């Protein structure tokens, strides 16, 4: 099977660096929700001491994530968990950092998923949930990737996708406070939700 994420490989380290630069969370527990092949979580693990939980509803992609992580020879403690974001198998106030890229658009109950993330996030922790290419991706690469594959489908208005005003209306419905929306490019509609609990 061809790797559906291959065109995004240069982008994951840049998003990981953004997360480290912005939140400076280098230790503790990190959940990568809807991890897919594990690329964002593993790039973040490489530059931190975070104990990583790679979480996905699909066991097949988790197998792939486990292989990819094993190839990186990380020193971090790592876990792989098959779970639905709408009922996360973690206690309240569990994680120091929660990341989730490109998964929100697929959740059956997006409000419940965000509420679960907020529940398992520690007080003082940060969640960064949404989609996009991050702010460090060069313009030329951003243009090329936005015309390709899933990014193009999303641009065409795939079900579940939200940005800008629609994303803010969604956040308001979750009842979660201390959220702000983040855009990859200044002046463009936001595609990420940041929770600081
Ligand atoms: C487009 S992929 C993104 C993968 C990865 N985060 C990335 O950026 O490369 C979306 C992932 O979300 C997962 N997913 C969809 N619904 C989910 C749910 N309810 N709970 C957990 N994971 C889910 C899918 O199985 C898939 O692996």
- pLDDT tens figures, 28-77: 999 999 999 999 999 999 999 999 999 999 999 999 999 999 999 999 99
Pocket of ligand 1 (CB under 6 A): 5, 33-36, 39-40, 56-58, 61, 84-86, 101-103, 106-107
Burial 62-87, CB ≥16 within 10 A → b, else e: bebbbebbeeeeeebebebeebbbbe
How far apart CA 103 and CA 106 sit, in angstroms, is 6
CB of 151 closer than 8 Å to CB of 160: no
Name the residue of 15, 62, 103 whose CB sits within 8 Å of the most ligand 1 atoms, as the mutation to test its pocket: 103
Q: Is the pLDDT of residue 187 over 80?
A: yes
The angle that helices 39-46 and 11-23 make with each other, rounded to 10 degrees, is 60
Closest Cα to atom 14 of ligand 1: 34
Q: What is the Å distance from ligand 1's center to 157 Cα?
A: 18
Q: What is the Å distance from ligand 1's center to 48 Cα?
A: 23
Single pTM value for the model: 0.96
Q: Which domains does the chain have, with CATH numbers?
A: 6-196 (3.40.50.150)
How many Cβ atoms are within 10 Å of 110's Cβ, its own excluded?
A: 18
Q: What is the Å distance from ligand 1's center to 34 Cα?
A: 3
How far apart CA 71 and CA 63 sit, in angstroms, is 13
């Amino acid at each position: 099977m061809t790797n559906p994420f291959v065109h995004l490989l240069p982008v994951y380290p840049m998003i990981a660096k953004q997360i480290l630069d912005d939140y400076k969370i280098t230790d503790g527990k990190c959940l990568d929700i809807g991890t897919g092949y594990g690329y964002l979580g593993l790039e973040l693990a490489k530059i931190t001491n975070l104990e990583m939980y790679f979480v996905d509803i699909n066991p097949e992609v988790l197998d792939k994530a486990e292989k990819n992580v094993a190839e990186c020879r990380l020193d971090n403690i790592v876990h792989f968990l098959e779970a639905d974001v709408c009922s996360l198998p973690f206690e309240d106030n569990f994680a120091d950092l929660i990341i989730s890229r490109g998964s929100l658009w697929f959740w059956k109950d997006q409000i419940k998923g965000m509420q679960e993330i907020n529940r398992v996030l520690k007080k003082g922790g940060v969640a960064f949930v949404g989609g996009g290419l991050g702010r460090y991706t060069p313009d030329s690469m951003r243009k090329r990737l936005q015309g390709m594959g899933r990014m193009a489908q999303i641009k065409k208005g795939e079900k579940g996708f939200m940005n800008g005003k629609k994303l803010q209306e969604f956040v308001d419905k979750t009842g979660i406070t201390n959220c702000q929306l983040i855009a990859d490019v200044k002046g463009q509609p936001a595609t990420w939700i940041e929770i600081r609990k």
